[in-house]
Structure 1
Amino acid sequence: MPEIARLDRDRRRVAAVVVAILIGLGDPRPALSLEQPDSPRPARPSRPVAPELAAALAAYRTYVIAQADAFVRETARFVAAIQAGQLAEARRLYAPARAPYERIEPVAALFPELIKRLDVRSDEFELRERDPAFVGFHRLEMALFTHGTTEGLGEVAERLATETVTLRDRIVALAIPPARAVGAASALIEGIAATKISGEEERYSRTDLWDFQANIEGSKVVFTLLRPLLADRDFVARVERSYKRVEDLLARYRSPDGGFQSYDNLTARDRNALKGPITLLAEDLSTLRGRLGLD
C-alpha cells in the first residue's frame, strides 16, 4: 500500500477511535486552561496544534477522565473493605484500586500537593513511617500488608477516598498541556525503569507488577492515538515490537486469578530481563514530542 494511502487510512482510524471514545464516555465538562494546577498564576497562552493532533489529545483527555472516575470507584471499594475490617478483601483490592491512577500518573502529577497526600512513600518525610504526614495509599499498604490489620485506619482511608474525588474534579477542570499528554507515553515507562524496577514503590504489598502493567497500558493508549500522525513507519513498528516484548515478559508472571505474582518471586536476573526492554522502549518514546513538533 502506498505510504500516503496508509497514512490516510490510519488518520481515519484514529478519528473513528476519537468519536467512539467520546460517544462511549460522554462529553466532559469544559476544561480550564492551567499551566501549573497548584499555582494561582494564570497560564501562558499555548500555541495552536494541528487539528489531527488536537483530536488525538481530546481523545486522550477523555481517557484520562474515565480513568480518574475509575480511580474514585475502585478506591471507594478498597476503603469500604478497610472500614468493614475485611483484611483479606482490602489486600485483594489494593492493587486494582491503584491501577487507574497508575495509567494516568503523569497527568495526576500536575497536582503535586494533592499527590503528596495520595501516593508518596515514607522516604519523603522527616520521621519516615512514623511521620503523621505519611498518609495515603502507602500508609494503608503498610498497615494491611506489614502489620496485618485494618485497625485504626478509618480516618486515613476516608481521607484517601475524599482525595481521589478531589483529584478527579481537578482533572475534569484541566486542559492537559499537549507536551504533557504526549510526554506521558515515555514518562510512564521511564518511571518503571528509573525507580519502580527496584521494587521500592510497593515495598509492603509487593504488587509492583500490577503498577508496571497499568503504566504500560496508559503509555500504550497515548502511542496508539498518536500512531497515525507519525510518518516514520519503521519507528512505529519498532515501538510496537517493544511494547509486545515488554507485555510478553510481564505475562510470564501472571497469576491464575488474572493478577500478578508477588514481586519477591522475581530474581535479580528476572528484573534485569525486564529493565532492558523497558529502557529501550522509554528511549524511543522520549522522541515523540520532537517528532510531533512539541519540543
Structure 2
Amino acid sequence: MKKNWKKLAVLTLLGAQVATVSLTSYSVLAEESSSAQSVDLSAETEAYKKFVSAEIDQLLKDTENFAKLIQEGKLDEAKKVYPLIRKAYERSEPIAELFAESDVKIDYRLADYVEDNQTEEGWSGFHKIEQILWEEGKTEPAVSYAKQLVDDIKELKAKVATVEVTPENMLTGAVDLLNEVATSKITGEEEIYSHTDLYDFEANIAGAEKIFSIFKDKISAKDPELAKNLTEKFKAVNDLLASHKVDADHYKLYTDLSEKETKALAEAVTKLGEPLSQMAVILEADESGR
C-alpha cells in the first residue's frame, strides 16, 4: 500500500513517468446528483460486501498457513506463497483501506512508515515479513511478525463485518485501485524486496474489474458503449499481464521486465483509467425520473 493516492484521475504516462490530471471526483458527482438520484444500488453494494468478506476470509486462512510455514522454517515455500496470499488483500482494498489503522499494520511499506513515524520501530505486516524472508533469508526472525499479522487480519475481518458499503466506496475504490497500479506499483516500489509486483498488479486490476462486473448491467443500461469499452480495456490489460506468467499461478519477477514491457503495461492501464472513471454514470437519475 502507498499512502496519499486517494484521488480520481486520468493517468498519463510519459515513458516511466506518471502524471495525473484531476477529474471531477465521485463524491462531488454524487453530491450534485443526490437530489435526483433514483437508482437503487442496494443489491450491488450487498454483493460487493459479500465479495470482500469472502476475500478477507480467504486472506485469513491463507495467512494462517503462511505463518505455519514460517514457524516450521520452510523458507522457500513461504516465499513462493507470499505473493499469492497478498492478492486477496489487494483485491479488497477499497474496503480494507477504509480502516487506516489496520492497513498500516497489515500493508504499510517501510518508506511510508518511516516518513510518518521517523523510525522503523513498530513497522509490521506483509512487507516487514517480505524484508526478512528476502533480505535475511531466514524464517525465525519473521515468526513473531507472522503471528501478529494473523491477529491483525482477524481484527480487520471483524471490522469489515460492520462496514456499510456505499456505491461511492465502490466507484471511487475501483479507480483508486487502478491509480495505485499506475502511480506507485508501476515503479516497482511496492514489493522492493521480492519484486513480486505483477501479482499485485493482477489483484488490483481484478478488484476493479469485480466492481465493474457488479455494476455492469446498470452501466450497460445507461451507456452501452462505456460498458463495451471497459470490457475490452480490462481484457487488454489482463491479456498483457498473462503474457508475463511463468506458469498458471506465478509471474516473472518485475525486475525481469524490459523497459518496453513496463511501458506497455503502463499504457494499457492508462487506457483503462479514463473509461473506468466514467462508471459514476450509474449515479445519475434517468431524465424520466427527474
> TM-score, normalised to structure 2's length?
0.81
Assess if the C-alpha contact under 8 Å between 2:106 and 2:125 holds in 1.
yes
1:156 aligned to which of 137, 140, 145? 145
- The percent of aligned pairs where both chains have the same amino acid is 32
Aligned residues: 249
Q: 1:47 to 1:120 in 2, by over 3 A?
A: farther
Kept in 2, the 8 Å contact 1:186–1:283? The answer is: no
Q: Which runs of 5+ in 2 are unaligned?
A: 1-33, 286-290
* Contact persistence 1:187–1:282 (CA under 8 A): no
Give the RMSD, CA atoms, in angstroms: 2.1
Aligned to 2:114: 126
Q: State the SS of the aligned residue for 2:181.
A: helix
CA–CA distance in structure 1, aligned partners of residues 195 and 122 of structure 2: 23
> Which residue among 129, 136, 139 is the counterpart of 1:140?
129
Return the structure number with greater relative CO, CA threshold 8 A, min gap 6: 2
2:244 matches 1:264: no
Query: Taking structure 1 as reference, are residues 236 and 130 closer, same or farther at Cα in structure 2, changes over 3 Å only?
Result: same
Summarize deviations over 1:37-95 as a string: whole Å, max 9, x none.
xxxxxxxxx99975642111111111011001011011111111111111011101101
* 2:241 equivalent to 1:253: no
Alignment-mate amino acid for residue 122 of structure 1: L
Distance 1:257 1:288 in 2: 31
Residue 177 of structure 1: aligned partner? 166
Give 1:40's aligned residue: none
CA distance in 2, matches of 1:176, 1:140: 31
Q: How far, CA to CA, are the matches of 2:271 and 2:137 in structure 1?
A: 39
More divergent stretch after superposition (281-290 vs 113-122): 281-290
Contact between 2:44 and 2:215, CA under 8 Å: does it hold in 1?
yes
Kindly state the Cα deviation for residue 291 of structure 1 after the two structures are TM-superposed.
Answer: 4.0
What is the TM-score normalised by the length of structure 1? 0.79
Is 1:196 equivalent to 2:185 in the alignment?
yes
Structure 1 runs (4+) greater than 6 angstroms displaced: 46-49, 127-130
Q: Note the residue ranges of structure 1 that are not aligned, 5 or more in a row.
A: 1-45
Contact 1:189 1:219 in 2 (8 A): yes
User: Would the aligned equivalents of 2:216 and 2:227 in 1 still touch at CA under 8 Å?
Assistant: yes
Looking at structure 2, the residues matched to 274 and 59 of structure 1 have their Cα atoms a distance apart, in angstroms, of: 30
Q: For 1:126 and 1:59, how far apart are their aligned partners in 2?
A: 37
- 1:228 to 2:214 alignment: no
Q: 1:99 aligns with which of 62, 77, 87?
A: 87
